[in-house]
Amino acid sequence: MSNNYVAIMAGGVGSRFWPASRTARPKQFLDIMGVGKSLLQLTYERFLKLVPKENIFIVTNGIYKDLVKMHLPELTYNQILCEPSRNNTAPCIAYTAFKLQQLNPNANFIVAPSDHIILKEDAFVDQLKKALAFTDANDALVTLGISPSRPDTGYGYINYQQDTQPAAGVFKVEAFREKPNLETAKGYITQGGYLWNAGIFVWKAASILKAFQQHATEIYDILGQDKAQYNTATEQAFINKMYPTTPSISVDYAIMENADNIYTLPSEIGWSDLGTWGSLHAESDKDDAQNVVKSDRAVLKEVKNCLIQMPENKLIVANGLEDFIIIDEEDVLLIYPKSKEQEIKAVTKELREEFGEDYA
């Protein structure tokens, strides 16, 4: 049996992709790319190049259990980890590590989001094979770093030690940096030794649990107090009871910024986190006016650099627009400046309070 596993995190709401992405059907379950498959399905198929389907697990919120099964019917229910509450990524990863270690004490696994674009899939697979080999042989926590193509202010950065002799291309991490302003981001690019933090991790279950025991003891103690429950009929009841009592904290804050055995693998894999409508515009094919138009009936005049998505058979006529997002979901029409798209997440909170959950 292979010791390599994949855990795909698919529990987020994707509120920056509102109104297409809603609490009832988040973006990982949508055909955002227009290829006939959801982002979750595309991510799953990508990892089949690395491990057999039996070794792929989906970590999601309990309310999406049936949606996951609908999109990936070949998985067993034991491969769908259901969180009863949204407690950020640290408890989510600790839960996964305990479960996989009980399944296989030598488990070595990848943690990856369900909603990223990887254009160079072969390079992606090759890099992860290197990372898995490194973590299998070392007590190491590896994060995939993306070689930056521009000074982007929307990503966190990884500062790595360029002067260290890399083993299989893996470098020691010096520090993690929060999302910078533009001048700081430009400095990172000029200076070198900085990568985008993609939130894709590789480690042995034993290594990451050791890190939780040292740096996030409360999470370790809560989820590890009865390890025999994992992969049994009583696992969900145990998780439903204990998981909501864990601190809500990201794995970056809980572990990655505190542990001293952090490494990174600089990678060029055609990556985008597909976090916003603007990133979808950036990654999509455009017409001569730099518009991305997902509509079979559009009459556009003096429309430039816009993202337009309409329901089937609905005609849109537009004139004099530049740098706008226009998304028609029948019950909601969004028209928003692309430069202000980071506000959309906050807008959904206001809508929830004023109009209820159906619109959020």
State whether 287 and 180 are in the same domain: no
Among 272, 307, 324, the domain boundary falls at 272
What would the mean pLDDT of 202-220 be, rounded to a whole number?
A: 98
The pLDDT > 70 percentage for the chain reads 99
Q: Locate tokens 């430039």: which residue? A: 304
State whether 218 and 289 are in the same domain: no
Does residue 268 surpass a pLDDT of 80? yes
Q: Three-class SS of residue 192?
A: coil
Range of the domain at 333: 277-359
Write down the pTM of the prediction: 0.91
**pLDDT band, very low/low/confident/very high, at 132 (cuts 50, 70, 90):** very high
**pLDDT band, very low/low/confident/very high, at 360 (cuts 50, 70, 90):** confident
State whether 177 and 300 are in the same domain: no
Contact 273, 155 (CB under 8 A): yes
State whether 89 and 73 are in the same domain: yes
Give residue 238's pLDDT.
97
What would the mean pLDDT of 70-90 be, rounded to a whole number?
A: 96
Give residue 218's pLDDT.
98
- In sequence order, which residues have a C-beta less than 8 Å from that of residue 149 and are 6 or more positions away? none
State whether 228 and 310 are in the same domain: no
Give residue 15's pLDDT.
85
Which residue, 30, 88, 23, 87, is CA-closest to 352? 23
The structure tokens listed for 345 are 């997440």
pLDDT in tens, 246-264: 999 999 999 999 999 999 9
Give residue 33's pLDDT.
86
State whether 113 and 246 are in the same domain: yes
State whether 265 and 307 are in the same domain: no
Among 223, 247, 272, the domain boundary falls at 272
The least confident of 23-27, 218-222, 242-246 is: 23-27
Does residue 166 surpass a pLDDT of 70? no
pLDDT in tens, 12-60: 888 889 998 988 889 999 998 888 999 999 999 999 999 999 999 999 9
What would the mean pLDDT of 123-146 be, rounded to a whole number?
A: 95
Among 214, 246, 272, the domain boundary falls at 272
Does residue 164 surpass a pLDDT of 70? no
Q: Across the chain, what does the average pLDDT equal?
A: 93
- Greater model confidence, 69 or 273: 69
State whether 150 and 214 are in the same domain: yes
DSSP per-residue letters across 134-188: HHHHSS-EEEEEEPPSS--SSS-EEEE-TTS--BTTBEEEEEEEPPP-HHHHHHH
pLDDT in tens, 169-194: 899 998 898 888 999 999 999 888 89
pLDDT in tens, 273-328: 888 899 899 888 999 999 999 998 999 999 999 999 999 889 999 999 999 999 99
Q: Three-class SS of residue 36?
A: coil
Cα–Cα distance between 208 and 194 in angstroms, integer?
A: 24
Which residue, 120, 121, 134, 125, is CA-closest to 167? 134
The structure tokens listed for 289 are 């006016």
State whether 116 and 237 are in the same domain: yes
Does residue 161 surpass a pLDDT of 80? yes
| DSSP designation for 40 | H
State whether 160 and 12 are in the same domain: yes
State whether 217 and 339 are in the same domain: no
Count of structural domains within the chain: 2
**pLDDT band, very low/low/confident/very high, at 1 (cuts 50, 70, 90):** low
SS3 content of the chain, % helix, strand, coil (to 5): 40, 25, 35
State whether 108 and 204 are in the same domain: yes
- Where residue 231 falls (left for φ over 0; alpha for ψ -120 to 50; beta otherwise) is left
- CATH number for the domain spanning 208: value is 3.90.550.10
